[in-house]
């Protein structure tokens, strides 16, 4: 019996250490505490812009979130510099920051007349305490003042030097198919001002689609040079599944069903919003819909300040799709931080014969889609459920990094955002 207790203790410690190690190596945007909800990271002056600022410009990144409680938490934040693929760069605080690498979040408000009490927190970077000295990728971590080792949430943002102008275009005539299921980018990077000595080895290009993390691509070598301009085209990392327009719903009013809400019920202590049952769209003809590429906006109808007046309710998703043993289906969107975890994973209900998921969400307007992750895969695919339509309006962000000889980190020298418009 004693041996069994010892074995159980050892196994617990091993598992605990494994969880801790995984957490420490995790540099994706994410929420790690059930009290934290509605994390948003944006360019401060444009809600729909990517979280990228120009070094020394005065531009700011805006971060906001809620902590479900009726009392203020004393929360602090710190920054970590990362390389092009988001591994920690290992730089000391003084090498990448002006100021102390810690600050207290002092901008907060209590929720007003909501069934679910919460405190809404806001933070902008740079601020009077912390300001990036160099370009690159940054990971911001937030934790309680008395427990700095226990990260509540973390989020990514980027600082660019903007010394390498980037132009990009999107085509539906790809190296895989013509006007069918894929889109392909062509990219040109002007390296003259950035003083790139060897574009074939010193540059890293990263391309993302609609804010997704699972299908981001990173590669080095351009196809060719035209003077001082690096040309990237006809390369496999530039080809993406076209996907489909994001699905939408609204929970802006707890008394009347909003867009694609079938009905609303109240069970103490929450309102429950039942989204209209979803079905696969892979066999349907493409239909244009002006979506926000997976973003969501907090909003309550009639509120003066939705940030503190919008309430929380349980949103129920249902997908009419046959059971697929071994295959996982996830909801994708900013409101689940683009992560594949138990919060975003759909579960098959044998009683209803449907995939289902319920989650606590703040009132607002939401974008989402379903991604299928095959056994052993780490990325999701749109084809099986959403379909891949070449006409889909996708938003691509192109980031160009440069590591000079002798330097220990990746500079972000150029960024471009391009939308496909192939209808």
Q: Is-same-fold flag (28-160; 247-373)?
A: yes
Whole-number Å distance between alpha carbons of 358 and 371? 17
Whole-number Å distance between alpha carbons of 102 and 77? 5
Token pair, residue 94, equals 């003084």
What CATH code is assigned to 247-373? 2.60.40
332 CB contacts (<8 Å, ≥6 apart)?
212, 294, 338, 344, 368, 369, 370, 371, 380
- The superfamily in CATH containing domain 28-160 is Immunoglobulins (2.60.40.10)
What CATH code is assigned to 166-242+392-419? 2.60.40.150
pLDDT, tens digit, 9 for 90 and up, residues 26-74:
999 999 999 999 999 999 989 889 999 999 999 999 999 999 999 999 9
pLDDT, tens digit, 9 for 90 and up, residues 320-348:
999 999 999 999 999 999 999 999 999 99
pLDDT (0 to 100) of residue 423:
60
How confident is the chain (423 residues) per 10-residue block, as mean pLDDT? 42 37 72 98 91 95 98 97 97 95 96 98 92 97 96 98 98 97 98 96 97 96 97 98 98 97 97 98 96 96 98 98 96 98 97 98 98 95 98 98 95 97 71
pLDDT, tens digit, 9 for 90 and up, residues 201-238:
999 999 999 999 999 999 999 999 999 999 999 999 99
């Amino acid at each position: 019996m004693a041996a069994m207790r010892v074995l159980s203790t050892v196994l617990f410690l091993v598992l605990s250490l494994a969880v801790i190690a995984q957490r420490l190596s995790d540099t994706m945007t994410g929420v790690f505490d059930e009290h934290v909800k509605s994390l948003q990271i944006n360019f401060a002056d444009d809600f729909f812009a990517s979280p990228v600022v120009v070094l020394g410009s005065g531009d700011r990144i805006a971060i906001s979130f809620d902590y479900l409680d009726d009392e203020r938490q004393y929360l602090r934040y710190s920054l970590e510099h990362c390389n092009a693929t988001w591994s920690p760069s290992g730089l000391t605080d003084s090498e990448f920051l002006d100021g102390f690498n810690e600050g207290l979040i002092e901008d907060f408000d209590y929720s007003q007349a909501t069934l679910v009490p919460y405190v809404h927190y806001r933070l902008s970077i740079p601020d009077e305490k912390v300001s990036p000295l160099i370009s690159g990728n940054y990971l911001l971590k937030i934790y309680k003042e008395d427990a700095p080792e226990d990260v509540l949430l973390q989020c990514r943002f980027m600082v660019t030097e903007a010394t390498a102008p980037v132009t990009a275009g999107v085509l539906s005539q790809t190296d895989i198919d013509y006007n069918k299921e894929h889109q392909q980018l062509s990219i040109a990077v002007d390296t003259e001002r950035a003083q790139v000595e060897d574009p074939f080895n010193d540059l890293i290009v990263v391309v993302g689609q609609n804010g997704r993390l699972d299908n981001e691509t990173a590669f080095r070598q351009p196809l060719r040079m035209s003077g001082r301009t690096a040309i990237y085209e006809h390369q496999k990392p530039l080809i993406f599944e076209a996907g489909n327009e994001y699905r939408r719903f609204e929970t802006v009013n707890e008394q009347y069903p909003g867009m694609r809400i079938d009905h609303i019920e109240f069970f103490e202590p929450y309102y429950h919003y039942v989204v209209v049952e979803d079905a696969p769209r892979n066999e349907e003809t493409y239909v244009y819909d002006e979506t926000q590429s997976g973003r969501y906006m907090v909003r309550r109808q009639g509120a003066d300040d939705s940030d503190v007046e919008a309430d929380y309710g349980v949103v129920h998703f249902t997908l009419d799709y046959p059971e697929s043993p071994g295959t996982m289906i996830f909801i994708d969107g900013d409101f689940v931080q683009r992560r594949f975890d138990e919060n975003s994973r759909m579960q098959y209900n044998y009683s209803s014969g449907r995939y289902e998921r319920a989650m606590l969400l703040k009132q607002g307007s939401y974008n989402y889609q379903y991604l299928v992750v095959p056994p052993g895969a780490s990325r999701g695919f749109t084809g099986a459920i959403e379909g891949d339509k070449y006409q889909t309006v996708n938003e691509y962000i192109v980031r160009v990094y440069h590591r000079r000889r002798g330097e220990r980190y990746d500079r972000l020298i150029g960024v471009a955002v391009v939308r496909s418009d192939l209808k």
